Amino acid sequence: MSQDIHLSREEREALIADLNLVFRLQGAASDGLDEAIADHLGLNRTDHRCLEIIERMQPLTAGQLATEAGLTSGAVTAVLDRLERAGYARRVRDTEDRRVVRVEVVPDSAPASGELYGPLVAWSQEQLARASDEQLSFLRGVLVESAAFMNEHAARVRALPRTRHEPPAPRA
């Protein structure tokens, strides 16, 4: 389903500006969904984000989780304690090196994950099925590069000195 569209320079600039807004709206919608799922699972946002990282990268060490999540080792210990108590994740000793402890998701621990993510996956599949191979390849590239850039930029922002905005002084 590929069709060539030819825009004027002004139309192209307006479309790019609109896409920048749409990227922000997509991020906000994603945050809203993450919040709803975390609430449904009885988790805070950080614990939910760590659970998603564990699920995606398992098995991994607590140190790897800390790096991936941008948390301190102490914060990750607390996260893992909460995830274990909730029954979503577990620490497992490495079979080859007993000094190494890996973290993994407890199988079938996320209640109704199909209910939580299934509609999103189905909708995405429908939308992506309409795209050409070239469009799919382009979209994948944009999303991969976007995620990498956002992670790099988040690190830059974290390194900035904190700013404090004082309320304006009352008028005399």
pLDDT tens across 137-170, in order? 999 999 999 999 998 998 899 899 988 877 777 7
pTM, full prediction:
0.78
| pLDDT above 90: residue 135 | yes
117 within a domain of the structure (yes/no): no
134 in any annotated domain: no
Do the domain assignments include residue 73?
yes
Query: What pLDDT shows up at residue 3?
Result: 64
In-domain check, residue 147 = no
Percent of the chain with pLDDT over 90: 73
Convert the chain into a string of H (helix), E (strand) and C (coil). Answer: CCCCCCCCHHHHHHHHHHHHHHHHHHHHHHHHHHHHHHHHHCCCHHHHHHHHHHHHHCCEEHHHHHHHHCCCHHHHHHHHHHHHHHCCEEEEECCCCCCCEEEEECCCCCCCHHHHHHHHHHHHHHHHHCCCHHHHHHHHHHHHHHHHHHHHHHHHHHHCCCCCCCCCCCCC
Q: What is the pLDDT of residues 20-44, one digit of tens each?
A: 999 999 999 999 999 999 999 999 9
pLDDT score of 125 more than 70: yes
Residue 128 belongs to some domain of the structure: no
116 domain-assigned? no
Domain holding 81, by residue range, is 9-109
Across all residues in the chain, what is the average pLDDT? 90
Domain at 94, CATH number:
1.10.10.10
Total number of domains in the chain: 1
Is the per-residue pLDDT at 45 higher than 80? yes
Residue 68 domain-assigned (yes or no)? yes
* In-domain check, residue 3: no
